[in-house]
Structure 1
Amino acid sequence: MKKILVFVCLMLSVIRLSAYYRAFEEKQDSTSVLNYIAKGFDVRLSDASQTIRYADKAITLAKKLQQHKLIADAYRIKGLGERYLGRNEKAIENYFNALSNYQLAKNSIGEVRIYLNISSLYLEIDHDKCLEYLHDAMDLYNSKGLNNDDILASIYLNYGNVYQLHSNFNKSMAHYQKAYDIISKQGNQELKVTLLQNLGVINFTIGNYDRSRQYLFEALESAKSLDLNLPIAQIDVSLAELYIALNDHVNAEKCLQEGKAYAVLSKNDKLLRLFDVKSYMLELKRKNFEKALTYLQAIHRQDSIQYSSRSSAALSLFQARYKQEMLEQQNKQMKEQRRYQISIAVGSIILAALLIVVVVLLTNNVKRNIATNRKLKLLNAEISTQKDNLDRINHHLEEIIDERTLDLQLKNKKLAEYSSHLSHQIRGPIATLKGLMNLEREGLVSQEECIQMMIKCVSEIDDNIIDMSDMLHNPDRAGL
C-alpha cells in the first residue's frame, strides 16, 4: 500500500514539475517571439529582408506555443517585409495567414491592421479593392468601439491616398488633414514621414511645386533622422519627379542616385524599377535618347517578368487559391486539435482512474484501521476488566494477609502469655525443690520426707506441663 502511495505521489510530482517547466518554457518562448516581432517591425523600412528573417523565427516559436495572437503578429510582420520588398503574392499570403489567426484569437485590432495592410497592397493595383478593404477596416474599427490613434491615422492616410489616385483632391486633403490632427497629437514620427510625403505628392499633382518641395524636404530630413531606407528612396523618387518637371536635371539626377542607393539597401525590386522609369524620363527630357532607350528596354523586360505580381487579377486568383488552402489547413488543424483533445481526455481518464484506485485503497485502509481500532478498544476493555479483577483479588489477598497477620499477632501474644504463665507455674515447684534440697543437705528435713515432697513437686510440674500443652492444642480453651 505504501509503495503504491509513493508511486502515485511521485507521478503527481512529475506531472506538476513538467507542467511548471512547460509554463516556464512557454513564457520564455513568448518573450522571444515578442522580441523577434518588435525587431522585425523596427527594421521593416530600413532592411525588409531582415524583417522576414526575424518574422520566420517568430512564426516557428509561435506555432510551437499554439498562440494564435502571436502567430498572427508574426505573419503580419512577415507580410510587411514581403510588401516592402515588392513581393505582393508572398505579402498577401502572409496577410491572410495573419487574418485567419487574428480571427481565431478574436483580436479585432489585429484584423483592422490586416485590412489596412491589404488595402495598401491594392493601392496601386486595384482602387476598388483598396477601398473595399479600407471600408472593412473602418467598419470593424467603429463597430468594436476601438480606440487606437495609430490605426485611425493610418486609415485616414490610406483614404487620402486612394482618393488622390482617383483625382478627388478635396476628399484626399480632408482625410490627410484628419490624419495630420491625430499624428500631431500623438507624435508618431514614422506616420508623420508618410503623411508629409503624401502631402508633397498631392501638392505636386495639383501643380503647387513650392509647397510640394517643402513637404518632401521635411519628410526626407525626418526619414534620414530615423534611418528609414525605404521611405528615403520613395521620397527621392518624388523629388526627382518634381525636379524633372522643373527642368532641374542636376538635382533630379542627385535625387535619383541617392534614392537608388537607398532602394538597393532596402532590397525593393519594385522601387528599383521605378528609379529606372524616372531615369528614363530624365534622359528623355535631356534628349539623351540612346540612354533613355536603354532604360526603356530594362523597364519593358522587368515589366514582362513582374506583370503577374502587379496584376490585380493575379492577386485575386492567388487570394482565392490561398483561401481554399487555408480552409483545408484549418480543417486539418481542427482534426489535429480533436486528436489532441482526445489524447488529453484519455490521459485525464487514466489519471482519474489512478486517483480512484488510490481513493479506494485509502478508503479500504481507513476501514481496516477503523476495524483494528475497534478490536483494540475491545481488547483494551477486556484488559481493563481483567485488571479490575486482579485489583479486587489483590485487595482480597491483602485483606486475608492482614487477617492472618492479626491472627499471628494474637497467637504470638498468647504464646508469650503461655510462656510467661508456664514459667510462673513451673518456677514455683522448681523453687520448692531447690528449697527441699537445701533443707535436706542441712539435715533439717528427713530424707524420706524430702523425697515425698520432691515427688509431689515433680508431679505438680508434670501436671502444669500437660495442662499447658492441652491449652496450646485446644482452641476451645481461650485464655489461661
Structure 2
Amino acid sequence: MKIKLLLFLYFLNQCTAYCQQQYRADSLQVENLNALSYKIRLTDPRKTINTGKQALEVARKINFELGMAEAYRVIGIGYAYLGENDTAIAKYSMALSLFKTTRYGEGEAKVYNNIGNLYKYYDVEKSLNYFQKCLKISQKLNLEELTAGCYINIAHIQIKQEKYDLALKTLNQSHEYFQKTKNSVGTALILQYEGIIYEKLNQHAKAKDLLTRANELAKKKKFYNNVGSINLTLASIYIREKNYQKAQDLINEGIQNARLSQDKKLEEDYIHTSYELEFAKKNYEQALMHLRKKFKIDSIALNSVESKKITLHQEQFKFIEQQKQTEILLERQKTSRVIFAATAIVLLLSLVVITLLVLQSKKRAKTYRQLRELNEEISLQRENLNRVNQNQELIIKERTQDLEDKNFKLSQYSSHLSHEIRSPIATIKGLLILEEEDLMEDKELIQEIRKSIEDIDNKLMNINHMLHNPKYKTFVISEKGDNDVPPSGE
C-alpha cells in the first residue's frame, strides 16, 4: 500500500512538473513571437500582424492572458501602420480589456499610447487625453522608456496646436533618455519633430539640418515609415526654396518608402505634395492630374466608409464574443486552480495521515517488543527467586544439626519473616495485576519490581548472615524491620 502511494505521488509530481515545463515553454514562445512582431512593425507591418496572430493562437491554447493581450496590441499596431484604423482600434480594445482584467499596468499604459496615436491625425483632444493617461501610469510605475515615448507624442499634439515652445520643452524631457539608451527610433522622432517645429517657426536652415539628420538615422535603421514622413516635410521646405529638383527627389524617395512600409495614408500625402510641387512649377496640367488622383482616392475612401462601419460593427461583435469567451476561460482557469489546490491539500493530508499511522504502528511494535523483553526478564527473576528458595531448603536440610541451635532464633524470626518477606511479594503481585490491567507504565513497573526484589534479596542476605553467625543467639526485631541489631548485652 505504501509503495503504491509513493508511486502515485511520484507520478503526480512528474505530471505536474511536465505541465509546468510545457506551459513555460509555450508562454516563452508567445513572448518571443510578440517581441519579434513588435520589432518589425516599422519595416513590415503585414508580417507584424501575421506573427502577432501566431502568438495569439498559442496564447489561447494555454490560456496565457498577458500573452493574448500583448498579441492583440501588436496586431493592432500592424493594422494602424497599414492605415486600417477601424480594425486597429478593435484590437486595441481587446488588449486593453485583457490588461485591465489581469491588472497589468504597463500593458494598459502602452495601449493608451497606441490609441492616442490613432486619434492624433483626427481628434487632437482625444489623442492628448489618451497620451496623458499613458503618461500618468508610466510615471507611477517608473517606466522610463514609455514615459519618454509619451512625451514625444504629447509634443506632436502640441505642434498641431501650434504650441511650439511648449512642444520643444516637452521633447527635451525625453531627449536625454533616448540619447542615454541609444534608442534610434526615439532619437529619429525627436529630430523629426524638432525639424517640423523650426520649419513652422520659419527657421528653415535649422529645420533642414535636423530633418536631414533624422532622415539619415532612419535610413540607417531602415525605418521606412519615418523616412517617408521626414521626406514629406523636407520636400515642402525645398518647394518653398524653389529647389524643385531636390524636392522631386525627396518625393520619389518618400513614395518608395511609403510603399515599403505599406502606409497608404502617407502615399496619399505624397500625392498632395506632388500637386504642390507641380503647382509651384506652374505646371498646371500635371498639378491637375495629381489633384484628380487625390480627389479620386478621397472619393473611394468616402465610398468605403460605410463598409468600414459595417466592418467595425463586426469587429465589435467579435470583440464582445471573444471577451465573453476570455472571461469564461479565466473563470474556468480559476476553478481549475481551486480544484488543483484542493486536490493537493487532500493528497498532502492523506500523506500526513498515512505517515502518522505508520509511525503509530512502529511505536506499538516497539512497545510490544519492550513488554515481551520485560516479561522475559520478570520470568528470569522468578526463576532466580525459585532457585534461591530451593537453595535455602537444601541449606536447611544439610544443616539440620544447626537448626536445633537456631530453633529459638527461627521461632522469634518466623513472625517477622512472614511479615517482611510477604510484603514485597504481595507488592510484586499487585504490580503484576496493575500491569495486566494497563494501569501502570512499563518503566515504573520495572522500577518497582526491582525495588521489591532488592528488598527481598537484602532481607534474605541478612537472615542468612544471622543464621550462620554463632554469636547471635537470639534476634531483636525492630519496628522498622531491621534484622541485624544484636541483642542487648551482646
Q: TM-score, normalised by structure 2?
A: 0.68
Distance 2:305 2:189 in 1: 22
Provide, for residues 335-373 of structure 1, a one-character-per-residue CA deviation record: whole Å limited to 9, x for no partner: 433333334434544554455555555555555555554
Q: CA deviation at 1:393?
A: 6.8
Give the counterpart letter for 1:60 in structure 2.
E
Q: CA deviation at 1:231?
A: 0.8
2:256 corresponds in structure 1 to: 261
Query: In the alignment, which residue of structure 1 is the partner of 2:21?
Result: 24
1:147 to 139, 142, 151: 142
1:201 aligned partner, one-letter code: I
Q: Structure 1 pair 353/38, CA: closer, same or farther in 2 (3 Å)?
A: closer
Shift of 1:99: 2.3
Instruction: Determine which of 330, 333, 349 is the counterpart of 2:326.
Output: 333
Cα distance, 1:265 vs structure 2: 1.6
> How many Å apart are 1:220 and its aligned residue?
0.8
Is residue 2:243 matched to residue 1:235? no
Distance 1:347 1:33, change over 3 A: closer
Question: Aligned partner of 1:9: which letter?
Answer: L
Structure 1 counterpart of 2:335, which letter?
A: I
Q: Whole-Å Cα distance in 2 between the matches of residues 168 and 291 of structure 1?
A: 36
Alpha-carbon shift at residue 84 of structure 1 (Å): 1.7
Structure-to-structure mapping, 1:71-470, within 5 angstroms: 71-142=68-139, 144=140, 146-180=141-175, 182-184=177-179, 186-307=181-302, 318=312, 329-357=322-350, 359-360=352-353, 363-364=356-357, 366-388=359-381
The aligned counterpart of 2:5 is 8
Structure 1 residues 20 and 102: alpha-carbon distance in aligned structure 2, compared to 1, 3 A threshold: same
CA contact (8 A) 2:90 2:319 kept: no
Q: Give how far 1:123 is off.
A: 0.9
- The structure-2 alpha-carbon separation of the partners of 1:73 and 1:391, relative to structure 1 and needing over 3 Å to count, comes to same
1:164, 1:172 within 8 Å by CA — same for their partners in 2?
yes
What is the CA–CA distance in structure 1 between the aligned matches of 2:168 and 2:346, rounded to whole Å?
A: 70
> Cα–Cα, structure 1 residues 11 and 401, in superposed 2: closer, same or farther, change >3 Å?
same
What residue ranges of structure 2 are gaps of 5+ in the alignment? Answer: 397-490
> Which deviations, in whole Å up to 9, do the C-alpha atoms of 1:184-208 show, x marking residues without a partner?
5554321121122122223333433
Quote the Cα distance in structure 2 between the aligned partners of 1:149 and 1:352: 43
Per the normalisation by structure 1, the TM-score is 0.70
Q: Deviations over 1:377-414 (max 9, x none)?
A: 444444334444556677899999999xxxxxxxxxxx
Change (3 A) 1:277 1:61: same
Report the AA paired with residue 189 of structure 1: S
Give the match for residue 476 of structure 2: none
**What is the CA–CA distance in structure 2 between the aligned matches of 1:90 and 1:83, rounded to whole Å?**
8
Residue among 43, 65, 68 paired with 1:46: 43
Pair 1:368–1:26, CA change in 2 (3 A): closer
Task: Give the 3-state SS of the residue equivalent to 1:213 in structure 2.
Answer: helix
| CA deviation vs aligned residue, 1:229-279 (integer Å, no higher than 9, x gap) | 111121122222222333322222211221222222212222222222222
State how far apart, in whole Å, the 1-side matches of 2:196 and 2:77 are.
Answer: 23
Partners of 1:324 and 1:273 in 2: CA distance: 31
- Percent identical pairs in the alignment equals 25
Instruction: Report the more deviating stretch, 386-395 or 105-114.
Output: 386-395
Pair 66,347 (structure 1): closer, same or farther in 2 beyond 3 Å: closer
Q: Which moved more, 1:200-209 or 1:126-135?
A: 200-209
The change in CA–CA distance for 1:17 and 1:258 in structure 2 (over 3 A counts) is same
Are 2:45 and 1:34 aligned? no
The 8 Å contact of residues 90 and 316 in structure 2, kept in 1 or not, is answered as: no
Q: For residues 321 and 197 of structure 1, what CA distance do their matches in structure 2 show?
A: 37
Q: Which gives a bigger RCO, structure 1 or 2 (Cα 8 Å, sep 6+)?
A: 1
Please report the RMSD computed on the Cα atoms of aligned residues, expressed in angstroms: 3.8
